[in-house]
Every structure is written in structure tokens, then in C-alpha cells.
A and B are shown apart, each in its own frame.
Chain A
Amino acid sequence: MPGKLKAKIVAGRHLPVMDRASDLTDAFVEVKFGNTTFKTDVFPKSLNPQWNSEWFKFEVDDEDLQDEPLQITVLDHDTYSANDAIGKVYIDIDPLLCTEAASVISGWFPIYDTIHGIRGEINVLVKVELFNDLNRFRQSSCGVKFFCTTSIPRGYRAAMVHGFVEELVVNEDPEYQWIDRIRTPRASNEARQRLISLMSGELQRKIGLKVLEMGGNAVVGYLQCFDLEGESGLVVRAIGTACTLEKHSSGSLVNTHTHPNTAPASNACNSPSKDGKEPVFGEDLPSSSGPPTPFRNLPTSSSSPPPFSPCKPCSRQSSSSDTDLSLTPKTGMGSGGSAGKEAGPLKTLLRQQTQTALEQREFPFFTLTSFPPSFLVHVGGVVSARSVKLLDRIHNPDEPETRDAWWEELRQEIKSHAKALGCHAVVGYSENTSICEEVCILSASGTAAILNPRYMREGCLDIGSTDQRFDDPSPPSCGFCHIPYDELNMPFPAQLTYCYNCRRQKVPDVLFTTINLPAEAAVTGKGCLIQARLCRLKKKAQGEVNATAISNLLPFMEYELHTQLMNKLKLRSMNALFGLHIQISVGENMLLGLASATGVYLTALPAPGGIQIAGKASGDLNNEQHVQSIQKRINDTIAKNKELYQINPPELTEEGVGSPIPEPRHRSRLFRSHSESSDEVSELDLSHGKKDAFVLEIDDTDAVEDIHSLLTDASPPTGFYTCNTETMPGIYNWTTAVQMFTSVRVLRLSNANLSNQSLNKIFTDLCENLLKSFYFKLRSNIPCCLCHLNFTVAVPEEELIQVSVTAVAMTFDKDQNQEGFITKGGNETEEQLQFPLELCADSSSTNAQPSSKFSGVPENTIVSSRAASVDYGSFADRCSTWLELLRLKANTIRRGSVKTSRRTQSLAHSVSSLEHCSPLTEGRPRSLRSSRSFGGSSVTMVKMTPLSFLPGTRIIKFLGIINMFFIRETTSLREEGGVSGFLHTFIAEVFAMVRAHVAALGGNAVVSYSMKDCVLMENPNKNQAQCLINVSGDAVICVRETDQEPMTSMTNIGQTCAADGAT
């Protein structure tokens, strides 16, 4: 019995009218934890009840504390019939279980109902007293900290990175239980929300246990997902990286802008296995069949494109396609030799060292995407694996072995791919699913890498440690680009050159990764978001046939996506992709593929060649002209892009843009599908010196489409940059203005007989138009960068395509004039602070009502930050009001002639208006009191960002993980403004609930925020819709870089104002 949970219900406000007759509500509250329930008294006839309850105490196991949420239900008392539920609040008390995180939860929570949305707010206080438990066999893992952030959280150092942790729990989905036929939608939704909350609590606890076993104390890069498998059940799974974190002693680590982190990304190219179905490119593939072999056996050849190695069928239910591929060339190692070959022995030594450290681990995977300097030694390239499974009912929820086995297979696959690339670890690792009916595509991807062995041994991720050069002689700005594999035994064809930066090691011509751009990397110019988009129709089918069809399509899609990425990369004259994330979504009659990444020009890598257009037959004059005009357009675009992204590496200047068009004879031999293969490249090499070139055969319809999509991708308008990684290289002077947003668009394909081409166009336009909308909406933030643009695609039902985007617009200072901005901001804060503090004193002294006091909140910082948020605006208003009133009266006096009597009157006036200033003085007219009774506490501004930091601020405390799951349903879709109105409200409500929870923990921001799921089902004919949203992030307290105290809401306001400025 190691814990005591205490909850107090203080008050409610803005409750809905539950009794039509009186236009009032008789509200009371049920507080439930586990199987224990307490009730408050009924507070009759009020929309702003003051329960001010006693402390409700729950004595519970810490296991339960971790699993269960505190459930608060607000009801309307009804003497004659059943009490009506107004809504609920689920509070995750996990943050209170960590000594370092929050110590109390206190604040206003939106009262949420799955049918009506937010219905008023309730003020709650929650505390936990934990007793020490020395039981070795305990099932709880209290005290393990969780972070969504996929880097070492600011303010901490990693004493040791233990490695991969994963867990998965399954259950029946309440929505599909028999009982659902007889219960109300509300009951069903609530059962589901509660179950998922329980399951994620359990999952987190189990992962925590694993971390403790490994000797760690924290999980970073914690990524939790739900698989709604319909009939077959509900899966909640999570992966993360176990670490031992230590707090920075001084807290002196000021994180400035430069550290990018966090961008989950995945990528892959896999080919399916099914016999003989090898795609065209199969011929080039080295050891393409069978399980991947150790890299030594891989044939050597050189080419830039990824090879696809096929794979064997994987599960018993269906065939699976898994393969790996390393999209990019990888580069060499980092030993000190002056030439790549000499480095051999050293490299081996290095690898051996690390391998021993990592080999004991089943999966040397890391969900991190940003690393301390010198952690990453070399990066091999993207590894990914997918498999297609048929779902069947989960028979025994306690034995989730099937699902475990599926993922296990996939991870093995990934591991062997990494090995093939000469790497012993996978970083930037993530896992995804896409489910349609009973078919499920599981995907895993990451970036093969060699890590510095020191970090695997005991602890020392000290940032800025000086001895790193001893291990790794490569300069940090290019070392990670050097190939990790053996030049003579390359896992796939790649074209190697000496590093353009250090000239000592070999580098590939292109590098694809799923991680963020390392902060120390040398980059030329700016980067930009690059997307490849693809639709493929498939026949409707059932069961195995369907699964086979899908798994046969997958490799083609991956190949296409990869080709598109390559072309677009070259069109922008860039040579590396970071944060690559490839999502393949399955629908009944189509597959959607979306690959997003941030392209950059790595100074260490060679300049990309141009793109060549080739006509099929020579001699046709028209055709020739056509080809030439397209070629010209492409060359122009490349030139324009170079200027736009400021890419002018010195080496390039003499070479000019693009390479010459190959000889016609030569051209005619090239087929598009081969254009990326090694042979072509080497041939081109012969004819064009060092430049490889991409050749697009124009008579090929696919190629026409490619060229079309290449040229229709609009670059962002002036003043905008885009990326899907944390930050944009080359931009450092961020202001504090951030605007996080979520946008969802669903397109209905009205025409049943669409071709692949027209579908592609529709899909591409959909994505492009979304971006255009963002530019327009956020135009007041210019100059700004849309960071962490995270696109998610889904096929919710036949003929619907859904794209959801979450990103943050961050403004930067063009003139590098940061000083001025900060000073200005600082002054503002000071001025503004004075009023709120005074007012706070004022209102608590005049106000006997408990609700607005923060009694029982022991922490100074919390009190002060809240106090600061108190209704400054209206106070100032009121001040000026009486001043003005006095002045006005004085005027009248002067004008009038009855001086004496008027003066007294005016004094009386001013007194009366003075009374208005304290909103809660007794004896004031009713309506005044009721509407103003909470005027003393206005809302804390909470910033949200998908990044791991807020520019211009320092995170001084991590308060715990936010992981929330909501369901919203309506049976009056039209009345709520159609699906758009419905979803708009719901997303706004989700934001509001996240903010409220963060504020209640005493925080003022959410970092690493992400919306993992947004599942929308609609039935306009029945006037119904249902939506599920899952969000997560880290609640934090942050301060301005220059301050010690928490940012007050006022400063926040100042910033946000700047953010949404005058539109």
C-alpha cells in the first residue's frame, strides 16, 4: 500500500444549463480512482458552483497509481430521474510519481463529454504521497521519467544510453464488444477512453520496469501508438530509448537555437518477396534474395540508388515483404588514416569495440534523432522493413505474442540490414502501422549508424568533452558522412568520392537519413522540405489475396517514391535528406505513399549532377524540341533553386549548372528504370567526368508524370522556409514567436474510374495546396520557417484521402538584431508584472472565496507564475477607468457653476467606481457578481511546439509526459457545422485540454508535441460523425534565456502576439 492519492474539488464555472425550467444546474462531482468513488455535495442552482470539498483520500498500490487515471465526473442532480452526466475529466497522475516532476496538480480542467465536447470547467487539486517500497519484486516503476523528446532533454546529460525498450499490450476494443449493441454511444466512448488510458498506463509501467532492469532511470524518445484493429482488438505499443539521465548541476546549459532534434522519420524501400516478382531493378541487386547477408558478402558495385533486397515471406498468415535497403551511400569511417584504405584496421578495431558493447543487446536501436556531439561516428543510410499481415482476433489479451512476434521479425530484419551496411546500430528508429479492414502493414525504419563506443560503456555523454578526437579523428562537420562500410565490399552500388570537406575519407554521393541534421554538420545554403507522393490503385479483395496484392505493390511504391525523392533532391541541387519518413497507407482500393524529408546540401558530399531528359527516338524534330524545352525548364529550375536556397559551393562554380545532355545515341540506350542503377551511372561517369546524371526518358508515361510533378512542386514564397526536421540549417536568430498548428484535409474522389496518373495528380495537388494554405495563413509571421512539418496520410474509407499536418511556424530575425528584441521583451515583462502582482494581493484580500486562492500550493514558482497570469488586462482597464472618470467629472465641475455640491458628488462617484475595482466585494448587484466571480484568474498562456525546445527560452523543468486520447462523437453533424465544424471544434478542444493539463502541472509549454492519430469516421446521411485523436508531448516550465524565473503568462502573451501579429 505504498501511496496515498488526495483530491479536492474546488469549484466549477461556465457549466451548461441542465434544468431548462430554472436555466440553472444542480451540480455535484464524483471522484473515482480504481474501484473507490467519492462524491461531493450537490451545489444547487448555479452555473458556477463552489464545492470546496474535503480532501478525498485513496490508499492505493503504486502499480495502480501508474496504470489508473483519476476520473472526475460532473453530474446534475435530479430528484426524480437519473442524474445526468455533464462530463468528465481524466487526470493522469503519473507526473506526480516522479520526485523531480510536478508536486501538485492544480487548476481548471475543461469538463469533457464525448458527445457534447467541452462543457464548462472544474477546478481540482491533486496530490500524491508515496511511501518507499523496497520490495524487489515490485510491479511498479514509479520514478522512471518519460520523455517524448527524441534527444537528450535540455538540462540533462546522459550518463549512459542503455538502448531500446519496447512493450505492447492488447485488449478487446469495447466498441466491438457485444455489449456495445445495447449501450449508449457515450458509454461506449467512455469505456474506450478509459480502457486506452489504462492500457497506456500499464504499458508505461511495464516499460519503466524494463528500464529499471537495465539500470536506467529514464526513457527518451518515447513513442506510443494505438492500433485500432477493429474486430480483432486494440493494441497499444510503445518504443523508446532507455537512458540514465543526470540533471545538469548548474542548469547552466543554455540551449540556443542551434540544436535540432527530433524528427521521427522512417524510410525504406523494401521489396517484397514473393517469388519471382522482383521488380525491374532486381537484376542489379547484389545478394538480393534470401535473408540479408553480412555485408562482407555483398558484391561491390557503385551506384547511388538504393538497392532493394527482397525478402522471404514472413508470417504464416500472409506473405510479407520486407527488405532493406539503404538508400544511400554511406560513408566511411572515421579513423585517422589519411586515406580510406589505410583506415581499414583501425576501422575494424573501432567496430569491434562498439560491437561488443552493442552486441549484447538484442536490438541496438535508438529512437533518438539528435545526439550529443561525437555520439554519431558514421551514418550508413536508411534501413527499413515492412510486412503485410492479416489480423485475426486476439484470443488471449494476456499473451500478445503474435503481435510481438511480428515486430520481432521486422526488427531482426532492420538489424540485419544495418549490419549489411557495416553498421552496428540503428538511430532515428520508428515503427508504424496502417490498417484497413483485416490487413495491416507494419513498417519499421531507421538510420544505420556507427556510434561512439564510449557512450555505450559507462557514462559519458558529456557535451563538450574534449577527448573525442582521440576516438574519432574525423572533423565533426563531416565525420558522420564518411562511409561506415568497407569500400571493397560495398553493400550496394554507390559512387564514392573523397570527402569534400576533409579530403581524407570516402563519402557517398547522396546520403539519406531519418535523423535530424547534426548540429555540427557543415551545410551549404539552406534546406527545404522535399516530398514524394504516390497513389496506386489496387483491386478490392479479401484475406490472403488482398494481402498478397498489397505486398506485391509495396516494392514498386517504395521504388517510385525513392526515384521521386532523388529527382526532387537533384532538382534542388542538394545531396542529402534528413528526417526521411515514408508512410504507406492502405485503403480498400488504393495505396497511398508519402515520403517527406528535408533536403540539404552537405558540404562534405559532392555536388549533385543535373537531370537529363532523353527522348526515345532521335530524328523526330518536334520531339527533339520538346525534349530540349523541358530540359531547359529543368535547368532553369535548378539554377533558380540554387539561388533560392543559397547553394553556391566553391567547387561548383566552374562546372555550371547541370551536366550536358548525353549524346543522342547514348541516350537512346537508357531506360528510365535503369537510370538510377549503377551501370548507368558509371557509364555516364565515363562520358561526363565526375558528374553522374539522372536521365529521364520522356516517352515513358511514368517519366512524363515524374517530370510533371517535378516541375509543379512550387517552392515556398519569399520569406518562408520549410523543413520536417527541427530547424533549418543556416537560420539561428529565431525570435520567440511560435505558432503551432494542426490542419486536416479530406478529399472525396468523385470519379470512380481514376487512373494512377490522375490520382497522383490529385494527391500531389492536395499536399501542395495544403502548403500554399499554410503560407497564406501564416503570412504575418514572415520571415519564418515552417519546422517539423509532419504530414500523415490515411484512406479512411473508399474514395476518401485524408492528410493531417502538424507543424510549427517559427519567426526569425532577418537582421540578426536579436539583442534589441530581447531587451524590449524584457522591459515589457517587468512593466506588466507589477500590475498583476498587485492585483493578486488585492483580490485575495478582498475575496473570501477559496476558489481563487492557491492555498495548499507550496511551490513558490508555481504561485508566482500563476499570480502573474491574473487578469492584468481588466485591472489596467479598471485603473484607467477611474482615472478617466475622475477627469471627466472634474471637467463637468469646471463647466458647471454649482461648484461645491458637484464636487462632493464627483467624489462619491469616484468612490463607487473604486469599489468596482475589486470584483468580489460583497453587496454588489447579483449579475455583476455572478459574471465576475472568477475574474481574478485568467488563463495561463501555454505554448506548444513539436520541437524539443522553444527558441529564446530555456527549459528549467520537465513536468512529465502528456499522453492523451480523446473520442468525440456527434449525432447532429449538420448543426455543428458539418464535418469541418465538428473536427475544428474537436481539435480546438484537444488543444485546450492539453493546455489545461500542462497549466495544472504548473507548466507553461509543451515540447515535442505530436498528434499521433486522428481517425475520423463520418456518415453525413445519418448526420453522424466520430473522431479519435491521440496526442502526446512533454510538459515543461521554460524561462526566457535571460531570466531565472518562469516565464510569466504575460511574456508569453507578448510572444504570441508577435506570433500572430497584425494579420
Chain B
Amino acid sequence: MAVELDVFVGNTTIMDEEVYQLWLDGYTVNDAVKVRMAGGVLDECEANQDVLLSDTMDQYRTFQMCERLLQSPAKLANQLLFQIPPHRQTMLIERYYAFDDVFVREVLGKKLSKGTKKDLDDISAKTGVTLKSCRRQFDNFKRVFKVVEELKGPLVENIRQHFLLSDKLARDYAAIVFFANNRFETGKKKLQYLTFQDFAFCAGQLINNWTVGAVDNMVEDMDVDLDKEFLQELKELKILITDKDLLDQHKSLVCTALRGKTKAFAEMEANFKNLSRGLVNIATKLTNTKDVRDFFIDLVEKFIEPCRSDRWTPADIKLYLTHYTNSAHILDSFKHQAVWDRYMGVIKSCIYKMYHD
């Protein structure tokens, strides 16, 4: 006795969110049945394992049939094959494009190429995310990357428009695209402690402040490429560390402001020149693509690590960076206030975000 055929089709397509998640997570039908059984779903409605198996297979089939539409979400809204209420469509799309932070952390900043795709089984083994799920996530990144690559206009907005994603998810994708495009190094050991959300935040800062799009919103790649002119202008900041007077003046202004406000004052005073040199050097080197890639590692090595070894608190960091930034405005001979603010605004929030264990 074998069930040769078993289908159930609703006029309104019936989709179980739990099964959808299992499907997205790359479970096989049999594994999904086990998970569902363990979840106690059998107690509802006096079902048995056969019922569960039949239901799971039906749902998997439905999802497979839908997958083609999910890959171009705009089609989902005006296709005729499945009658799915809009709020369910939104859920389907949002979940399909959701990704695992552990997975994305592995591919962040890597080229979304065939080569990387070949390494997915290693990543799968390392992260515990099933290969099937890894592939879906990777293909999503690649698909989004390919579509927005050719578009004008704001990156987040384009992603949201084309893939009908929520604001949050669209921002995350913008970060992924931004990192992939600029090939930021994120895999080094020293950066391992940073989560995807840390990087996504930094990406948002960079996109909003350092890209061409921050000045001109109708050029291609405006949010993906850093503003070349700005990077050039950053070289002017060098004066802050090359001019000895300026450096001393800056230090004394900062120290005056900080005195008595923090326990780490002694370390701040002692390290001021080192730290300042570090930050300004990062700025001046950003014209090199190679150094852009090392941006985050530089931040960690040149600033975060020294502070951490001196046991600064996050509040110390904030205080220090605020005064460090503001004091530069008082320096008479320092003329690059606008560039300085544009640079330090981002650096300050990135460092603050990245300063944790």
C-alpha cells in the first residue's frame, strides 16, 4: 500500500509559518516532520505522523512552487496562480530574504562570486546553517546586489522597492551590498568579536555620510561608492598630526575639557598623540582601495585595542571622541572643519558601536 499521490490545494493558499521556516532553514521533509513532532503539534487535532508527513510534503511543494515568485517579489503581488492575502505575501517575502547573522558574518565583504559559492559547504559546516539555507541566503545577496548595482537613487530605497522588504531588512541588505562592493575586510581574527549588526550600523553611517549619494542623489552607484572628492579632501587633515603646534594645542584643549571627568584621564592624556595619529592616518590613507578595505581593522588596531587595554569604558570613549572632535573647531589654524566633521561624525559613531567585548 503506497500513497501514490497526495495533494491538498486551497483556494486561498494555506501556508504554515512554522513549516515555512523549516523549509527556509533547509530541513528535509523527514527532518521537518521530526521537528514538528517534537514541537507538540500532534497534540492538536488528534493528528498522527502520517498526517504530519502529508501536510509537510504539501507545504514544501507549495513553497517550491512559490520560490520562483519570491525571487522577484514584485511578481508575487500580481501573479494569478496563488491567492495569497497581501499580509501573508509580505511575511513570505520578509522571511525568504531573512538571513542568519552567523552566515552573513562569514561572507560579509567577500566578493559574491562563484568562488565564494563554492566555499559554502565549509561555511555551512562551520556555522551549522544547512547548505541549502546557505545557498538561498547567498543567492539572495547576489540577486539583490545584481539588481541594485545598475540602479540610480538611494540604495536602501531601491532595495525596498524591488524586493518589497521592510525598512530594517532593506538596510541590512544595503549594508551587505555596500560591504561586498567595497570588499571591506571583516574576516580577520581581530574583527571576529564584531557582529553583523555592528557592521551593518557602520555601513549605514558610511552610506549616509561618506558616499557620493550623501551629496548627490541621482548618480549611479551613489550609495555604493565612497565619495572620491571627500576622500581626497581627507588628506588635508594630516596637518593635525604633522603640525606639532597644532597637535599640542589640540591635546591641551582636549585634556582641559576632560580633566576630572573620567578615571581614565591619565591614559587619555598619555595616549592622545598616538590615538590622534592613528585616526588621522586612517583618514589620509582612504584614497587607496587597499586601505579602504582595511578600514575596520585599522580602527580596531589603532584606536579600539589601545583604549581597551587601558580599560576605557564606553562612556570614556564617547567623552573622549566628542571633545576630540569639537576641540578641533577651536584650533585657529585648522581650516578643514567641514571635512573634519564629516569624517569624525562617522568615526565616532562607528567606534562607539564597535567598542565592546
Q: What is A's interface to B at a CB cutoff of 8 Å?
A: 13-14, 108, 110, 118, 121, 714, 717, 720, 739-751, 762, 769, 772-779, 800, 802, 871-874, 877-878, 881, 884-885, 892, 895-898, 905, 908-909, 912-913, 916, 925-928, 931-932, 934-935, 937-939, 941-944, 977-981, 983-985, 987-989, 991-992, 995-996, 1016, 1053, 1056-1057, 1059-1060, 1062-1063
Q: Which residue of B lies closest to A1052 (CB)?
A: B85
Identify the stretch in B11-19, B136-144, B310-318 within 8 Å (CB) of chain A at 4 or more residues: B11-19
Please measure, in the bound complex, the distance between the C-alpha atom of A892 and the C-alpha atom of B345, giving whole angstroms.
10
29 A-B residue contacts at CB 8 Å?
Answer: A717-B46, A720-B45, A741-B14, A762-B1, A777-B8, A777-B58, A779-B45, A871-B77, A873-B89, A873-B90, A896-B342, A905-B217, A909-B154, A912-B157, A916-B153, A916-B157, A925-B151, A927-B147, A942-B11, A944-B11, A984-B61, A985-B65, A988-B82, A996-B80, A1016-B5, A1053-B86, A1060-B10, A1062-B17, A1063-B18
**A938 and B51 contact, CB distance less than 8 A:** no
Question: What residues on B are CB-neighbors of A905 within 8 Å?
Answer: 214-215, 217
Please measure, in the bound complex, the distance between the C-alpha atom of A166 and the C-alpha atom of B81, giving whole angstroms.
35
Partner of B55 from A777, A928, A931, A1059 at Cβ < 8 Å: A777
**Given A744-B7, A892-B209, A118 and B81 contact (CB-CB distance below 8 Å):** yes
Partner of B2 from A747, A939, A984 at Cβ < 8 Å: A747
**B78 and A776 contact, CB distance less than 8 A:** no
For residue B281, CB closer than 8 A to chain A, the reply is: no
Q: Which residue of B lies closest to A1006 (CB)?
A: B11
Question: What residues on B are CB-neighbors of A118 within 8 Å?
Answer: 80-81
**Given A937-B78, A979-B4, A991-B9, A877 and B164 contact (CB-CB distance below 8 Å):** yes
**A776 and B51 contact, CB distance less than 8 A:** yes
Question: What residues on A are CB-neighbors of B75 within 8 Å?
Answer: 14, 931
In the complex, how many angstroms separate the beta carbon of A348 from the nearest chain B beta carbon? 51
Question: What residues on B are CB-neighbors of A932 within 8 Å?
Answer: 74, 161
**Given A14-B75, A984-B7, A772 and B47 contact (CB-CB distance below 8 Å):** yes
Question: What residues on A are CB-neighbors of B16 within 8 Å?
Answer: 1063
**Given A873-B77, A874-B164, A912-B154, A776 and B5 contact (CB-CB distance below 8 Å):** no
Question: What residues on A are CB-neighbors of B2 within 8 Å?
Answer: 747-748, 750
**B46 and A995 contact, CB distance less than 8 A:** no
**B162 and A741 contact, CB distance less than 8 A:** no
Q: Which residue of B lies closest to A774 (CB)?
A: B8
For residue B194, CB closer than 8 A to chain A, the reply is: no
In the complex, how many angstroms separate the beta carbon of B61 from the nearest chain A beta carbon? 5
- 10 closest A-B pairs by CB: A746-B5, A1063-B16, A873-B86, A746-B4, A743-B8, A740-B11, A987-B9, A984-B7, A776-B47, A741-B10
**A773 and B9 contact, CB distance less than 8 A:** no
Question: What residues on B are CB-neighbors of A745 within 8 Å?
Answer: 3, 5-7
**A913 and B12 contact, CB distance less than 8 A:** no
Question: What residues on B are CB-neighbors of A742 within 8 Å?
Answer: 8-9
**A938 and B78 contact, CB distance less than 8 A:** yes
Please measure, in the bound complex, the distance between the C-alpha atom of A913 and the C-alpha atom of B153, giving whole angstroms.
8
Residues facing A in B9-67 (CB within 8 A) are 9-18, 44-48, 50-52, 54-55, 57-58, 61-62, 64-65
Which of the listed residues B47, B62, B150, B342 has the most CB atoms from chain A within 10 Å of its own CB?
Answer: B47
Residues facing A in B65-96 (CB within 8 A) are 65, 72, 74-75, 77-83, 85-90
Please measure, in the bound complex, the distance between the C-alpha atom of A886 and the C-alpha atom of B179, giving whole angstroms.
25
**Given A913-B157, A1060-B12, A980 and B83 contact (CB-CB distance below 8 Å):** no
**A988 and B81 contact, CB distance less than 8 A:** yes
Q: Which residue of A lies closest to B157 (CB)?
A: A913
**Given A925-B151, A1016-B5, A775 and B47 contact (CB-CB distance below 8 Å):** yes
**Given A909-B154, A939-B78, A800 and B4 contact (CB-CB distance below 8 Å):** yes
Q: Which residue of B lies closest to A908 (CB)?
A: B217
Please measure, in the bound complex, the distance between the C-alpha atom of A926 and the C-alpha atom of B158, giving whole angstroms.
13
Please measure, in the bound complex, the distance between the C-alpha atom of A926 and the C-alpha atom of B149, giving whole angstroms.
12
In the complex, how many angstroms separate the beta carbon of B76 from the nearest chain A beta carbon? 10
**A874 and B154 contact, CB distance less than 8 A:** no
**B3 and A746 contact, CB distance less than 8 A:** yes
**B8 and A773 contact, CB distance less than 8 A:** yes
In the complex, how many angstroms separate the beta carbon of A992 from the nearest chain B beta carbon? 4
In the complex, how many angstroms separate the beta carbon of A848 from the nearest chain B beta carbon? 20
Please measure, in the bound complex, the distance between the C-alpha atom of A884 and the C-alpha atom of B157, giving whole angstroms.
11
Question: What residues on A are CB-neighbors of B51 within 8 Å?
Answer: 769, 772-773, 776
For residue B208, CB closer than 8 A to chain A, the reply is: yes
For residue B269, CB closer than 8 A to chain A, the reply is: no
**B86 and A872 contact, CB distance less than 8 A:** yes
| B residues contacting the other copy or chain, number (CB 8 A) | 73
| Given A773-B54, A1053-B86; 10 other pairs, CB 8 A cutoff | A13-B78, A741-B14, A745-B7, A750-B2, A769-B50, A874-B164, A881-B157, A927-B162, A939-B80, A980-B7
Which of the listed residues B72, B75, B81 has the most CB atoms from chain A within 10 Å of its own CB?
Answer: B81
**Given A741-B8, A980-B6, A931 and B72 contact (CB-CB distance below 8 Å):** yes
Question: What residues on B are CB-neighbors of A740 within 8 Å?
Answer: 10-11
**A744 and B5 contact, CB distance less than 8 A:** yes
Question: What residues on B are CB-neighbors of A995 within 8 Å?
Answer: 11, 80, 83
**B209 and A984 contact, CB distance less than 8 A:** no
**A934 and B44 contact, CB distance less than 8 A:** no
Q: Which residue of B lies closest to A1057 (CB)?
A: B85
Please measure, in the bound complex, the distance between the C-alpha atom of A772 and the C-alpha atom of B345, giving whole angstroms.
62
Please measure, in the bound complex, the distance between the C-alpha atom of A734 and the C-alpha atom of B342, giving whole angstroms.
62
**Given A928-B161, A984-B9, A1063-B17, A110 and B80 contact (CB-CB distance below 8 Å):** yes
Partner of B85 from A762, A908, A941, A989 at Cβ < 8 Å: A941
Partner of A772 from B3, B48, B81, B218 at Cβ < 8 Å: B48
**A1057 and B80 contact, CB distance less than 8 A:** no
Please measure, in the bound complex, the distance between the C-alpha atom of A434 and the C-alpha atom of B50, giving whole angstroms.
31
Which of the listed residues B65, B161, B208, B214 has the most CB atoms from chain A within 10 Å of its own CB?
Answer: B161
Question: What residues on A are CB-neighbors of B7 within 8 Å?
Answer: 743-745, 980, 983-984, 987
Question: What residues on B are CB-neighbors of A1016 within 8 Å?
Answer: 5
Please measure, in the bound complex, the distance between the C-alpha atom of A898 and the C-alpha atom of B344, giving whole angstroms.
12
Question: What residues on A are CB-neighbors of B151 within 8 Å?
Answer: 925, 927-928
For residue B152, CB closer than 8 A to chain A, the reply is: yes
Question: What residues on B are CB-neighbors of A991 within 8 Å?
Answer: 9, 11, 83
Question: What residues on B are CB-neighbors of A979 within 8 Å?
Answer: 4-5
Please measure, in the bound complex, the distance between the C-alpha atom of A896 and the C-alpha atom of B346, giving whole angstroms.
9
**Given A745-B5, A1059-B12, A938 and B77 contact (CB-CB distance below 8 Å):** yes
Question: What residues on A are CB-neighbors of B52 within 8 Å?
Answer: 776
Question: What residues on A are CB-neighbors of B78 within 8 Å?
Answer: 13, 108, 934-935, 937-939
**Given A13-B78, A898-B338, A939-B80, A741 and B9 contact (CB-CB distance below 8 Å):** yes
In the complex, how many angstroms separate the beta carbon of B131 from the nearest chain A beta carbon? 21
For residue B267, CB closer than 8 A to chain A, the reply is: no
In the complex, how many angstroms separate the beta carbon of A915 from the nearest chain B beta carbon? 8
Question: What residues on A are CB-neighbors of B214 within 8 Å?
Answer: 905
Q: Which residue of B lies closest to A999 (CB)?
A: B80
Please measure, in the bound complex, the distance between the C-alpha atom of A878 and the C-alpha atom of B209, giving whole angstroms.
24
**B80 and A775 contact, CB distance less than 8 A:** no
Question: What residues on B are CB-neighbors of A977 within 8 Å?
Answer: 61, 64
In the complex, how many angstroms separate the beta carbon of A1063 from the nearest chain B beta carbon? 4
Which of the listed residues B11, B14, B79, B150 has the most CB atoms from chain A within 10 Å of its own CB?
Answer: B11
**A743 and B342 contact, CB distance less than 8 A:** no
Q: Which residue of A lies closest to B16 (CB)?
A: A1063
Q: Which residue of B lies closest to A117 (CB)?
A: B81
In the complex, how many angstroms separate the beta carbon of A866 from the nearest chain B beta carbon? 13
Residues facing A in B204-255 (CB within 8 A) are 208-209, 214-215, 217-218
Please measure, in the bound complex, the distance between the C-alpha atom of A259 and the C-alpha atom of B186, giving whole angstroms.
68
Please measure, in the bound complex, the distance between the C-alpha atom of A892 and the C-alpha atom of B167, giving whole angstroms.
17
Question: What residues on A are CB-neighbors of B164 within 8 Å?
Answer: 874, 877
In the complex, how many angstroms separate the beta carbon of B72 from the nearest chain A beta carbon? 7
In the complex, how many angstroms separate the beta carbon of A698 from the nearest chain B beta carbon? 28
**A881 and B4 contact, CB distance less than 8 A:** no
For residue B160, CB closer than 8 A to chain A, the reply is: yes
In the complex, how many angstroms separate the beta carbon of A119 from the nearest chain B beta carbon? 11
